[in-house]
A = this chain, B = another copy of it.
Amino acid sequence: MANPLIIETPGRGLVDVTGRVRALVRSCRVDEGVAVVFLHHTSASLLIGENADPDVPVDTVGWFDRLVTDGDRHFTHTAEGPDDMSAHIRSILTGVSLSIPVRGGDLDLGTWQGIFVFEHRYRPHRRRVSVTVIAGVSG
């Protein structure tokens, strides 16, 4: 399978990538270990969040919009637009790397956990997300 994944984002918001990451993990045929999911950018990020109610992603994006103000007057890095420096800070707060256990050759997520790319820029982007699977043992 293609790795890294190329995730097309529609602009700011959360994109559920659980299914695509899961397919890559299964194709690795590692029974037990860890999958490391990594996003190769500084103005988007990765998170594990609730996968059931579509209101949760909306509330999440809205909360970060209020926490990290676009075009904050304190910012000096402004040449790439009002959503660029705020994007870098949101990326730092949420992170670009996830380590998820693998059991029985599949992602061992909780019932309500999904994997999301968090696009922080206003415009659509193509984001590279790579998946590496490592064999390990559980105690």
Q: Measuring CB to CB, which residues of chain A are less than 8 angstroms from any residue of chain B?
A: 1, 3, 23-25, 27-28, 30, 32-34, 36, 38-43, 47-50, 53, 55-56, 58-60, 62-63, 66-68, 72, 74-77, 85, 88-89, 91-102, 108-113, 128, 130-139
Chain A contact surface mostly: mixed
Instruction: Provide 10 A-B residue pairs closer than 8 Å at the C-beta atoms, listed in order of the A residue.
Output: A33-B134, A38-B108, A40-B109, A40-B110, A48-B95, A49-B92, A66-B74, A67-B67, A132-B138, A133-B138
Residues of B within 8 A of A128 (CB): 110
What is the copy number of this chain in the assembly? 3
> How distant is A10 from chain B, measured CB to nearest CB, in Å?
20
Q: Select which of B25, B56, B76, B134 is within 8 A of A34 by beta carbon.
A: B134
- A60, B88: Cβ atoms closer than 8 Å: yes
> How distant is A76 from chain B, measured CB to nearest CB, in Å?
5
